[in-house]
């Protein structure tokens, strides 16, 4: 699917003499009104069906050279792909669904990227907080919504696309990044997307690695590795097929994937089946936990200051990566023995604050 048939000239580039520090150092962000349940972004972004689009968004993000280089050289994705994706989705969702705390979540995501920098194999310098690079990642989140709605939710009107564009600008402000790369309108965004897809994306090692992804076998699984790999082949092949269908033709060609008219018909048919089936799926299943909590706060079902939904502790990054400052580390849950100890201590503490029972006075002789 091509967003638009038109292509614009490249946007004016930043002067070469501009210092790197001025490009990557975000200024303190003014308070921004968070998105709420009246937005279309809330309606779509937390939908579980975005999960089948994971290989699409992972590949097209990392086809942007500066972003792909950062992932290749700094990410733990290759060591723990399922854990890495699972935990990352929680704060990403939070920038949309955390209400009054959304801007704080966005700033945390930004700060995890401060030290992701270097020089790629072609000698090009990169920094994750380069405004163009950081905005490209956000643009793929926005297009995730557009494509989800188009293929799996019955489509969007032009007015809804313009509304979603305006919301994606409000959403991006939550990070406290430069707004310089952000297009001024939906039409300008379409031109931007087509230009980047055609002129700037390339098959970086990180993008190719995602298309060729394998799930490492956990140490505790008593199964031969070849058998383990075979278990995941159908799911990974399905993700690759969905990615091929979602790519613009020029991106699909760069990725070396094929797509026939028959594939397109089948893909559209499956999308219609999904649209029908999900009319019967309850919110508790359809929505990501962080999104569901956002709705419940707005509905008054949980307190506005209730703790945010966090990723499960078992998805925490490897121990040797936790001190780098580049990772979201989920709060550690207490183990069963720790909970038992807490219960014992609480019991004794409560017993200690009770007024002592009066001792009976000895009777006079």
Mean residue pLDDT across the chain:
86
Nearest to 172 by CA among 112, 217, 132: 132
pLDDT of residue 18: 36
Q: Does 295 have pLDDT greater than 80? A: yes
Measured distance CA(347)–CA(32) in Å, rounded: 45
pLDDT of residue 139: 99
Is the Cβ–Cβ distance between 268 and 283 less than 8 Å? no
Measured distance CA(321)–CA(76) in Å, rounded: 8
Q: For 47, list phi and psi in degrees, rounded to 5.
A: -70, 135
pLDDT of residue 229: 87
pLDDT band for 307, please (50, 70, 90 cuts): very high
Count of C-beta atoms within a 10 Å radius of residue 352: 7
**How does DSSP classify residue 75?**
-
End-to-end, the C-alpha distance of the chain in Å comes to 102
pLDDT of residue 137: 98
> Which DSSP string corresponds to 88-143?
HHHHHHHHHH-GGGHHHHHHHHHHHTTT-EEE-TTS-EEETT-HHHHHHHHHHHHH
pLDDT of residue 245: 98
pLDDT of residue 156: 98
Nearest to 186 by CA among 138, 154, 142: 142
Q: Does 339 have pLDDT greater than 60? A: no
Tokens 């994306």, located at residue: 201
Q: Give the CA distances from residue 217 to residues 17, 89, 120, 134, 224, in Å, rounded to whole numbers and listed in that order.
A: 48, 22, 29, 32, 9
Give the least confident one: 1-5, 290-294, 361-365.
1-5
- C-alpha radius of gyration, the chain, whole number: 24
Structure tokens at 282: 């309850």
Measured distance CA(131)–CA(27) in Å, rounded: 12
Measured distance CA(248)–CA(3) in Å, rounded: 8
Measured distance CA(295)–CA(311) in Å, rounded: 18
Q: Give the CA distances from residue 172 to residues 106, 129, 356, 358, in Å, rounded to whole numbers and listed in that order.
A: 9, 13, 59, 65
How deeply is 147 buried, as exposed, middle or buried, from its count of CB atoms within 10 A (0-12, 13-18, 19+)? buried
Measured distance CA(137)–CA(142) in Å, rounded: 9
Measured distance CA(290)–CA(101) in Å, rounded: 12
pLDDT of residue 57: 97
pLDDT tens profile 107-132: 999 999 999 999 999 999 999 999 99
Give the least confident one: 84-93, 272-281, 339-348.
339-348
For 263, how many CA atoms within 13 A lie in the half-sphere containing its CB? 13
| pTM over the 0.85 mark | no
pLDDT tens profile 324-338: 888 888 887 656 665
Give the least confident one: 37-46, 287-296, 353-362.
353-362
Which residue did the predictor score with more confidence, 341 or 104?
A: 104
Measured distance CA(63)–CA(86) in Å, rounded: 21
């Amino acid at each position: 699917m091509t967003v638009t048939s038109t292509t614009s000239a490249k946007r004016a580039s930043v002067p070469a003499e501009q210092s790197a520090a001025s490009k990557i150092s975000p200024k303190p962000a003014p308070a921004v009104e968070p998105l709420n349940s009246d937005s279309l972004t809330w309606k779509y972004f937390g939908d579980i069906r975005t999960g089948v689009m994971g290989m699409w968004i992972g590949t097209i993000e990392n086809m942007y050279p500066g972003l792909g280089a950062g992932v290749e050289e700094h990410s733990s994705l290759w060591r723990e792909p399922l854990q890495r994706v699972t935990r990352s989705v929680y704060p990403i969702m939070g920038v949309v669904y955390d209400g009054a705390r959304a801007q704080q979540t966005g700033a945390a995501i930004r700060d995890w990227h401060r030290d992701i920098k270097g020089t790629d194999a072609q000698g090009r310098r990169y920094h994750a907080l380069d405004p163009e690079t950081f905005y490209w990642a956000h643009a793929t989140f926005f297009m995730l919504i557009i494509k989800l709605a188009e293929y799996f939710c019955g489509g969007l009107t032009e007015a809804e696309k313009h509304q979603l564009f305006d919301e994606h600008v409000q959403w991006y402000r939550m990070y406290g990044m430069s707004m310089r790369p952000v297009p001024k309108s939906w039409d300008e965004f379409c031109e931007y997307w087509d230009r980047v897809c055609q002129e700037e994306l390339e098959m970086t090692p990180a993008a190719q690695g995602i298309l060729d992804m394998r799930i490492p076998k956990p140490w505790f699984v008593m199964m031969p590795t070849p058998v383990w790999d075979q278990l995941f082949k159908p799911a990974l092949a399905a993700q690759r097929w969905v990615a091929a269908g979602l790519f613009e033709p020029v991106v699909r060609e760069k990725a070396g994937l094929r797509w026939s008219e028959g594939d397109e018909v089948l893909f559209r048919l499956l999308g219609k089946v999904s649209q029908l089936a999900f009319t019967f799926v309850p919110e508790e299943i359809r929505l990501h936990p962080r999104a569901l909590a956002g709705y419940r706060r707005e509905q008054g079902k949980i307190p506005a200051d209730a703790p945010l939904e966090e990723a499960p502790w078992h998805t925490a990054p490897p121990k040797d990566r936790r001190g780098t400052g580049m990772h979201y580390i989920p709060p550690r849950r207490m183990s069963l023995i720790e909970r038992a100890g807490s219960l014992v201590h609480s019991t004794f503490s409560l017993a200690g604050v009770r007024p002592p029972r009066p001792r009976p006075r000895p009777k006079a002789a």
